[in-house]
């Protein structure tokens, strides 16, 4: 059992009784896999019209009387202490209501860290916030200015004079490697895997690849920068936040400010992109503290620059991958060693070394990763954490191995694809990566690829094709709850503190609830996005859909029992047991005798009830203990490289996914495409530039940090196997993050096929090709 599994089972033993039998070993699959009506359709997004009309209210837009606007002053050194602080000019500036520094900030506890067993916390680091004069990274907030307008706050912030006593900071990755640390375990797995004498098998192998792959530091750039509108009301705290961790944020703020959890409300109905970054960072905490001091509501809306200095990114990595194979391509050894940055105060792991543990069968493994502790901002989660940089290294190495053997890269994968968990031996719940390859290859036209690199050309352009696998584990979080309410006209509302970051959360769960309860779509509403609703875990780890689905499924079981009880004896249903009825046509009916039925409306009216409410909870994800559960994909890229300038233009991308059942084709395509575009950015342009002398991030705007824009994004085609996973609710696994994995490798492999040049260092900028 992995650490995660241990932790989840240990942490939620109390709710094990609620796990639906259908997902347990030996249980039958979720019946909705084959009975769906609304699910599988292309429902448009419920939130679409409001967003298009500008009626959807985001955190920085919530109207509030008497509001003050916050601006931050960031440390200019990486390590040391604040020696002098002169805020008098700022305090005297027009419109300024308050300047907060460590001299007058209220006492705040250290943020409770987010963890797989602590879903009610959301902290990304464990440092005290504005409690002392110490500086721990370049960019740390040293002063908060509140003023009547944002412009006044920004201006006053420029008037603050800070003197530092700097000490030698550790900001150099290369240097830090020598004193890197090696944790026993990462967030979800044991770190070291040593099985079957990989070093010896590598030494003896007929074919081997042994290379170093590097990926840069990357920063988050959601369309909506982080924002909160904060108000204290009669000792209670209300935070309108842009967050993918509503309850985690509420729970953390309660701890930090010594409040009862019930006295903190976090509201977040719409989030303009999260990707792992929209958790709890210093800006919410400082905003809450400043609002308390000023005794007025406060709006914090981070500038792009503040966002880069305060919100962590994906660590840079240096990964050695060594693969050994027989002449027929059978893998004999997989070695994956590497370094990332993880300051000791940082919570988030970049578990790139997990990638190679599930994709391919192999006789031996030697896997471990090390972390460099630097005086930098804490890491964040970033779409496909671990597997995104991990697949770059492993999947480039697989391409190199195929080339060395003289074998088609897809054929090499076919010969080695895992048919069960390569490490534990556990069976897959469902896995069909090669079906994804076959689908994708046919659509893409893989047969047109020239095996010999550098042989296809159109004028100055060299044309290349590449492919790579993607992978991401299945997760379903315990404790996610929904309240399902039926009113006496038979309409249903589903409510949960779930998150909408643009992926279609409410849309898909409305489809689900309609099918689960035998109703047409227009009889179901979904309410999400507020901590006053039943607990939901974070929208992360591609787990939200499965967690909510499990909770709705559990609620539906309770509804049956309650409805039968309310129906009493004066009903055609009289005498039927819960197992003998099913939902249909807005009511219950006998499975054996459908003529015995009664509608929800009739049952509620007869019993004099205005409504009936039950709460269902997702329970422990026991299925992940028995089964190896991963979404997988096959990525294809065709591109051209200018022989004159080295410029890379991607012509097309094809992504073929094996993620169980797809619940809504329209929202799924959007998720997959968005993920692949993030992979495209990683491959070609995204890179956080750090001045290693000062620890200062230099690329703090969208001009300096280039994310793909329309002109960069080619035609992207999305395909899927749509094979249901019998061990998950609705037969679906997660789709939020896998889109990003494997894309950078497919692009790098296509560059090699076009040019014969193997670039192992992201991003693939043109200087590396000249
Ligand atoms: Mo994802 S990195 O768990 O939002």
Q: pLDDT tens across 562-582, in order? A: 999 999 999 999 999 999 999
Residues 512-529 pLDDT 10s = 999 999 999 999 999 999
Mutate to test the pocket of ligand 1, among 221, 222, 268, 383 (most ligand atoms within 8 A of CB): 383
In a 13 Å sphere around the CA of 507, the CA atoms on its Cβ side amount to 21
Given 265, 294, 310, the domain boundary residue is: 310
612 and 636 in a single domain? The answer is no
The enclosing H or E element of 393 equals helix 387-405
The whole-chain average pLDDT of the chain stands at 95
Residue nearest to atom 3 of ligand 1 (CA): 540
Mutate to test the pocket of ligand 1, among 276, 351, 505, 543 (most ligand atoms within 8 A of CB): 276
Nearest to 113 by CA among 127, 99, 100, 92: 127
CA-CA-CA-CA torsion sign (254, 258, 260, 262): negative
Residues 152-181 pLDDT 10s = 999 999 999 999 999 999 999 999 999 999
Indicate if the pLDDT at residue 7 is higher than 50.
no
Residues 683-707 pLDDT 10s = 999 999 999 999 999 999 999 999 9
Tally DSSP H helices, then E strands, for the chain: 19, 29
Catalytic residue (one of 224, 350, 623, 737): 737
748 and 645 in a single domain? The answer is yes
Domain-located, residue 52? no
Domain-located, residue 729? yes
Residues 210-233 pLDDT 10s = 999 999 999 999 999 999 999 999
Question: 4 near 116, Cβ under 8 Å?
Answer: yes
Given 566, 587, 620, the domain boundary residue is: 620
Q: Which atom of ligand 1 is nearest to the CA of 275?
A: 4
- From first CA to last CA, the distance across the chain in angstroms is 49
Which residue bears the tokens 């990525």?
635
Q: What percent of the chain is predicted at pLDDT more than 90?
A: 93
Residues 633-665 pLDDT 10s = 999 999 999 999 999 999 999 999 999 999 999
Number of domains within the chain: 3
696 and 613 in a single domain? The answer is no
Q: What is the mean pLDDT of residues 664-684?
A: 98
Distance 72 CA to ligand 1 centre (A): 26
Residue nearest to atom 4 of ligand 1 (CA): 276
Residue 408's Cβ-count burial label (10 Å; 0-12, 13-18, 19+) is: middle
Domain-located, residue 332? yes
680 and 575 in a single domain? The answer is no
In the chain, % helix, strand, coil (3-state, to 5) comes to 30, 25, 45
Given 262, 295, 310, the domain boundary residue is: 310
Q: What is the mean pLDDT of residues 338-363?
A: 96
SS3 540: coil
Distance 115 CA to ligand 1 centre (A): 13
The pTM of the full predicted model, rounded to 2 decimals, is 0.96
Distance CA(284)–CA(300), nearest Å, equals: 7
Domain-located, residue 21? yes
Which CATH number covers residue 758? Answer: 3.30.365.10
Distance 541 CA to ligand 1 centre (A): 5
Domain-located, residue 50? no
152 and 205 in a single domain? The answer is no
Distance of CA 158 to the CA centre of its chain: 35
CA-CA-CA-CA torsion sign (175, 177, 183, 185): positive
Domain-located, residue 593? yes
Where does the pLDDT of residue 388 fall: very low under 50, low under 70, confident under 90, or very high at 90 and above? Answer: very high
Domain-located, residue 690? yes
Residues 572-608 pLDDT 10s = 999 999 999 999 999 999 999 999 999 999 999 999 9
Nearest to 163 by CA among 142, 184, 136, 144: 142
Which two structure tokens, joined as six digits, stand for 549? 């689905």
Distance CA(194)–CA(190), nearest Å, equals: 11
Indicate if the pLDDT at residue 118 is higher than 80.
no
Distance CA(258)–CA(695), nearest Å, equals: 34
The enclosing H or E element of 369 equals strand 365-372
653 and 681 in a single domain? The answer is yes
74 and 134 in a single domain? The answer is yes
Distance CA(379)–CA(218), nearest Å, equals: 10
Question: 586 near 523, Cβ under 8 Å?
Answer: yes
* Candidate from 110-114, 132-136, 165-169 with smallest mean pLDDT: 110-114
Question: 512 near 549, Cβ under 8 Å?
Answer: yes
237 and 107 in a single domain? The answer is yes
Which residue bears the tokens 């799924």?
668
Which residue bears the tokens 């929904």?
482
207 and 114 in a single domain? The answer is no
Which residue bears the tokens 């954490």?
385
Q: Could you tell me if the CB of 381 is within 6 A of ligand 1?
A: yes
25 and 75 in a single domain? The answer is no
Nearest to 194 by CA among 334, 321, 318: 334
Residues forming beta bridges with residue 301, ordered by sequence position: 227
Residue 528's domain comprises 3-35+476-620
130 and 113 in a single domain? The answer is yes
Indicate if the pLDDT at residue 2 is higher than 60.
no
């Amino acid at each position: 059992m992995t650490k995660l599994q241990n932790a989840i089972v240990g942490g939620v033993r109390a709710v094990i009784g609620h796990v639906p039998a259908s997902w347990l070993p030996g249980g039958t699959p979720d019946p909705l896999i084959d009975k769906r009506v609304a699910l599988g359709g292309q429902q448009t997004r419920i939130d679409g019209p409001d967003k298009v009309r500008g009626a959807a209210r985001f955190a920085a837009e919530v109207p509030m009387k008497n509001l003050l606007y916050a601006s931050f002053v960031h440390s200019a050194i990486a390590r040391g202490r604040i020696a002098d602080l002169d805020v008098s000019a700022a305090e005297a500036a027009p419109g300024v209501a308050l300047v907060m520094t460590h001299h007058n900030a209220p006492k705040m506890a250290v943020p409770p860290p987010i963890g797989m067993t602590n879903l009610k916390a959301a902290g990304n680091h464990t440092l005290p916030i504005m409690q002392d004069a110490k500086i721990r990274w370049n960019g740390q907030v040293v002063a908060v200015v509140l003023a009547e307008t944002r412009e006044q706050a920004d201006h006053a912030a420029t008037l603050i004079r800070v003197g530092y006593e700097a000490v030698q900071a550790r900001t150099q990755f290369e240097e830090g490697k020598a004193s890197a640390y090696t944790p026993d375990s990462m967030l979800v797995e044991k770190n070291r895997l040593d099985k079957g004498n990989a070093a010896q098998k590598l030494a003896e192998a007929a074919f081997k690849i042994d290379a170093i792959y590097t990926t840069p530091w990357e920063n988050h750039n959601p369309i909506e920068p982080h924002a909160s509108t904060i108000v204290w009301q009669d000792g209670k705290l209300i935070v309108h936040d842009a967050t993918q961790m509503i309850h985690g944020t509420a729970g953390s703020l309660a701890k930090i400010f010594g409040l009862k959890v019930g006295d903190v409300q976090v509201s977040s109905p719409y989030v303009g992109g999260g990707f792992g970054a929209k958790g709890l960072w210093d800006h919410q905490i400082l905003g809450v503290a400043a609002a308390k001091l000023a005794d007025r509501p406060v709006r914090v809306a981070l500038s792009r620059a503040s966002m880069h200095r305060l919100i962590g990114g994906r660590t840079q990595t240096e990964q050695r991958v060594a693969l050994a194979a027989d002449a027929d391509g059978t893998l004999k050894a997989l070695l994956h060693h590497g370094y990332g940055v993880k300051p000791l105060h940082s919570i988030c792991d970049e578990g790139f070394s997990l990638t190679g543990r599930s994709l391919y069968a192999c006789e031996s493994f030697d896997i471990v990763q090390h972390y460099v502790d630097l005086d930098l901002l804490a890491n964040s989660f970033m779409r496909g954490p671990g597997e995104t940089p991990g697949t770059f290294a492993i999947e480039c190495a697989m391409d190199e191995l195929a080339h060395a053997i003289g074998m088609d890269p897809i054929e090499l994968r076919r010969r080695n694809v895992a048919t069960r968990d390569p490490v534990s031996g556990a069976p897959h719940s469902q896995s069909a990566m090669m079906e994804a390859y076959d689908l994708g290859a046919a659509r893409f036209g893989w047969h047109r690829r020239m095996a010999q690199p550098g042989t296809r050309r159109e004028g100055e352009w060299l044309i290349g094709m590449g492919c790579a696998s993607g992978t991401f584990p299945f997760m379903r979080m315990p404790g996610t709850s929904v309240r399902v309410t039926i009113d006496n006209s038979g309409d249903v509302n589903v409510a949960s503190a779930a998150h909408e970051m643009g992926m279609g959360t409410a849309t898909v769960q409305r489809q689900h609830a309609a099918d689960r309860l035998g109703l047409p779509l227009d009889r179901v509403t979904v309410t999400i996005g507020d901590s006053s609703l039943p607990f939901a875990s974070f929208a992360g780890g591609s787990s939200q859909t499965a967690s909510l689905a499990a909770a709705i499924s559990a609620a539906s079981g309770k509804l049956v029992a309650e409805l039968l009880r309310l129906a009493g004896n004066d009903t055609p249903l009289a005498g039927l047991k819960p197992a003998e009825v099913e939902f249909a046509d807005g009511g219950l009916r006998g499975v054996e005798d459908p003529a015995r039925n009664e509608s929800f409306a009739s049952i509620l009216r007869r019993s004099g009830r205005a409504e009936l409410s039950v709460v269902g909870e997702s329970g422990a994800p026991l299925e992940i203990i028995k089964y190896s559960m991963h979404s997988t994909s096959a990525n294809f890229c065709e591109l051209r490289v200018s022989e004159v300038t080295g410029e890379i233009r991607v012509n097309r991308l094809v992504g073929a996914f094996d993620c169980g059942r797809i619940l809504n084709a329209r929202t799924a395509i959007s998720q997959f495409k968005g993920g692949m575009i993030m992979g495209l950015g990683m491959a070609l342009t995204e890179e956080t530039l750090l001045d290693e002398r000062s620890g200062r991030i230099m690329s703090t705007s969208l001009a300096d940090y280039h994310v793909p824009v329309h002109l960069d994004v080619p035609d992207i085609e999305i395909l899927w196997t749509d094979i249901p996973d019998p061990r998950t609710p609705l037969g679906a696994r997660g789709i939020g993050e896998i889109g990003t994995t494997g894309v950078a490798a497919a692009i790098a492999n296509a560059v090699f096929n076009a040019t014969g040049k193997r670039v192992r260092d992201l991003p693939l900028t043109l200087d590396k090709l000249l």
